[in-house]
Amino acid sequence: MALHFYELKKLPPLAENDKTSGKDLWLKLFRAETEEDLTAIEKLEVPIMSEALQAYRHVAASDEFKEKERMWAKARHDEAQALYNARQQGRSERDEHWRGVVAEKDAVLADKDLENADLRAQLEALRKQIGKI
């Protein structure tokens, strides 16, 4: 028993009159992304491929298939929207955290400014007392 993996994106494009092995034709059928790709496979006039394409087009034309395709597209959209919202939420939480850090530092600086002002006042008072001596 063997298990084979194929990277469809790495397959060479379908060439004119490319009636290679059945495995290669099936892989190229799975790789097809546009109607032009399907038409190129159909032009090879390989009976099993023509039959597969006819079955695919029959299924793709059904209302059930169209509804499932619509639901799949909606699910992808909903997932993308959920990821976007999660990123935005993360950003707002991070921004809120940093606003809190800045506010805390501002409060510490304000306290230090008050302390410095108090020390300056005490220093001035001491200078005045020394000046009187």
Phi-psi region of 13 (alpha: psi -120 to 50; beta: other; left: phi over 0): beta
CA distance 94 to 100: 10
Grouping H, G, I as helix, E, B as strand and the rest as coil, residue 13 is coil
Query: Under a CB-based contact definition with an 8 Å cutoff, are residues 53 and 28 in contact?
Result: no
- DSSP per-residue codes, 52-102: HHHHHHHHHTSHHHHHHHHHHHHHHHHHHHHHHHHHHHHHHHHHHHHHHHH
Q: State pLDDT tens for residues 36-49.
A: 988 888 888 888 98
- Span 3-16, mean pLDDT? 77
Is residue 15 within 8 Å of 41, Cβ to Cβ?
no
Q: What is the pTM of this model?
A: 0.48
| The predicted structure's pLDDT at residue 16 | 56
Average pLDDT across the chain, whole number: 86
pLDDT classification of 129: cutoffs 50, 70, 90: confident
pLDDT at 17: 54
Cβ atoms of residues 38 and 50 within 8 Å? no
Q: What's the chain's length in residues? A: 133
